[in-house]
A and B are shown apart, each in its own frame.
Chain A
Amino acid sequence: MTAQALEQRELAVVIGLEVHVQLETATKIFCSCSTEPAEDEEPNTRVCPVCLGLPGALPVLNEAAVESAVKIGKALNADIAEDTRFHRKNYYYPDLPKNFQITQYDAPICADGTLEVSVEGTRRDIGITRAHLEEDPGSLQHKGGSIDTADYTLVNYNRAGTPLVEIVTEPDFRSPQETRAFLAKLEEVLEYLGVFDATRDGSLRIDANISLVPADEVDDDGSISDEALEAANRTEVKNISSHKGAEKALAYEVTRQKNAIKRGRAVEQETRHWDESRGITVSMRSKEEEKDYRYFREADLPPLQVAHWKEEIPIPELPDARRERFHTEYGIDEESASKLTSTKEVADFFEDVAAEFDADLAATWVADNLLGELNYRDMHITDVSDRLDEFTRLVELVDADEVTTKNAEEIVLREMLDEGKDPDTIVDEEGLGKADDDEIGGFVQEAIDENPDAVEDYHNGEGGALNFLVGQVMQKSKGSADPGTVNQLLRERLDE
């Protein structure tokens, strides 16, 4: 089909993703070096003969990495391979210590899964072609320019050998927004599984394949024939590192490709680099056309039989299921249920609180008050996970009417977060203990005695007088009195 014909037709967007996920194992995939960067670590210090690829060193597979991959496979409803094995991907690049990468080729550990995403209320299943294990290369620092213009390049192998799972999707995305929703969902699932640390720099790296095909080639169920996909020229966009980045990079590519087609130009089949700071994709011109990686079996790693691990390795309840259960089991509305399941830690925290109190009260305190205050302080639930007891005590004080809701929210909770004190100490120090009725009775009498004019106004039927007196009593009690109780006591006393 010619570009002329194409420019007359409605176009549909076709996107597939390759997502590289760093696994949060204690040690690297083939050696016992830590995967966790030390603070201010020097380059090339977190290395050993194996991850440096020194002559004679051999890889030994980290079981924890395999476990993580099996968990991911289960969460994505994928098949776990009966026999899985490793291959070498051969290419010369200075960040690759051996000038080949150990990866998987014809027998990936996971294949044929799905992940459901929803965008603006429409749910879609995204097909997962495969997920396989591989080693992360080291990292390069180009000094004095970009890769093409730098004076020289430094190599740091500290990252080399960090376990990666590469998740490859079917070309099932029909918009950049869907890729963003997918990545957010995927990250949520990975965090639930405890195999991934989103806060680690470079822990999620994304390549995207994108092409435009005539919209009438897309069936009602969103599927597209292989011929139509083959016919369309596709660009690969590399160097995407976040959900937002994926949406932006792909939106840019959609516009760029549409414009090219509108002007009667063909879209070139090429690899492009997402330049986050400039918000554009750039052609990686000098790159070779089709690389020949000369894949072949890695004889140093015997084949693995892990299909039975699927039964043996448990995975936690996943976010969708948990959201649904919070809705049905606790009767929590969808918005709060979403907030409460945003991470596994939040959901666990909520369920611990809900075990002791009414679910609505627990939901309000965790979803609205606690998460709101944490968010305001740029803190995370994990920062207070070990203070569950203190938080429960705070809710208990409110539930037992010993502190007013207002004081609990505005004073106690904030001081707990800002100063690290426990709620009882704060209540004591601030004198926030709810005044009992005798005490309030005393304040009421004082207010009446001290404000004869207001009392007279009250008896003359002036509505504002009562509010004034309530305010006086509240002041005397430093807010620890319940306004309803004060109102009632005042009326009784004045009407006697």
Chain B
Amino acid sequence: MSLNAFITKETLDGSDDGPLSGKTVAVKDNISTEGLRTTCGSAMLEDYVPPYDATVVELLKDAGATIVGKANMDEFGMGTTTETSAFGPTKNPVDESRVPGGSSGGSAAAVAAGEADLALGTDTGGSIRCPAAFCGVVGIKPTYGLVSRYGLVAYANSLEQIGPIAPTVEDAAALLDVIAGPDDRDGTTRDAGADSNYAAAADGDVEGLTIGVPTEFVEGADEGVEEAFWAALDELEAQGAEYREVSMPSVEKAVAAYYVIAMSEASSNLARFDGVRYGKSGGYDGNWNEAFARAREEGFGSEVKRRILLGTYALSAGYHDKYYAKAQDARAWVKQDFDEAFEDVDVVASPTMPVPPFELGESLDDPLQMYLADANTVPVNLANLPAISVPAGETDGLPVGLQLIGPKFGEETIVRAASAVEN
């Protein structure tokens, strides 16, 4: 049985020569590919074929990569298990009774199973790092503004970034080198990364590196996950790094703040799917509001509807200050906590996910449980920081990921530290 890692399997050849020539790449299906349907894992866009390439897809082709298909994902990125996809769940290649994590589950599963050498995922609240951790591969969520989002179908545009998934830190860093850098078509990109050499930073040299461990990130983690985490830190210490506990009280509010902001933005970003210009049509009966409603009722799955409704509510007059504005305050507080932590330490470490991969179907009925699993990843998106998840042992035969968070545009530091974990 296949893992169902791809929604669409089709090969797009890149240029003849480049740093990725000979490499196959799976592209998450919320990244636009000219002439190749881009569904976002949604029935809404089942037949949507973009007339243009995302900037990262152009960069992949220029670098000589061969795109081998569009990877499965939670619908519009809304999920932690890849089970909300309208195209069925993806199985975890490590244990096919388990989820691969999400929302970039197809990308991570394809890499872990060798169905692609590399993959692009997107990370709004952990969607690259979670599946990388669950599938035992490496995933990088870049600093907000390092990689162009042009062509990435937005879920929560102030939080998300496109990033690499690969079997090794060096491979992931090499893919980041290809996609990083400013883009005229995305006004939020910065000059950083234009002449990057992240792959060269994967030298395993952690001599003198200080690692901060926020107690808030470790408490409450599954016992086996915690053991693997401390073992990895001891290993880094043995290679010359030192670690100390730091306190980040703001992260207690991070999950709540993240979901309010992400859902609010989603309610607006997904408004364009009304069946008028593309996507599932609502037909021609009744007035246009009725046609819009039909398209959205039929096109969206229940998790997407839940988030749009909650986001609409959070932005509404009378509730805006209570929810959206408060969430923005919490976001500023999280940023501040990280700023303070980085005055004393070079990187911040935590288990990527507090739990091992769920059983298929386990979390679908309990969205809140699923949201809480993002506790360690969402603070990074709120603070616009870079983070990497690197395999760090196992618990009961299931992969555990170590998350290393760096300061803004500190991708080299986290790549270096993560490469030492592989030693």
A: which residues have CB within 8 A of B? 49, 52-61, 88, 90, 92, 94, 97-100, 152-153, 155, 292, 294, 296-297, 299-302
Contact = CB atoms under 8 A, between A and B. Distances in A.
A90 to B, nearest CB: 5
B277 A53 contact: yes
A152 B284 contact: yes
Interface string B267-303: 1100111101110000010001100100000000000
Contact of A54 (B51, B188, B274): B51
B72 interface: no
Contacts of B272: 53, 55, 97-99
17 contacts: A49-B51, A49-B52, A54-B50, A54-B51, A54-B278, A55-B40, A55-B48, A56-B31, A57-B150, A90-B267, A98-B272, A100-B271, A294-B267, A294-B312, A294-B316, A299-B188, A300-B188
B151 interface: yes
B316 A292 contact: yes
Contact of A99 (B153, B158, B274, B278): B274
B158 A299 contact: yes
Interface in B173-220: 184-188
Given A296-B315, A299-B158, A94 B185 contact: no
Nearest to A60: B187
Contacts, number: 99
B interface majority secondary structure: loop
Contacts of A155: 276
B274 A92 contact: yes
B249 to A, nearest CB: 26
Nearest to A301: B187
Contacts of B54: 56
A97 B278 CA distance: 11
A301 B187 CA distance: 6
B292 A58 contact: no
The 3 closest A-B pairs by CB, nearest first: A299-B158, A99-B271, A294-B315
Contacts of A94: 274, 276, 288
A297 B48 CA distance: 28
B317 interface: yes
A299 B32 contact: no
B152 A56 contact: yes
Contacts of B278: 54-55
Contacts of A299: 157-158, 188, 265
B333 interface: no
Contacts of B324: 296
Nearest to B152: A56
Contacts of B265: 296, 299
B281 to A, nearest CB: 13
B315 A90 contact: yes
Nearest to B293: A92
A49 to B, nearest CB: 5
Nearest to B186: A58
Nearest to B76: A55
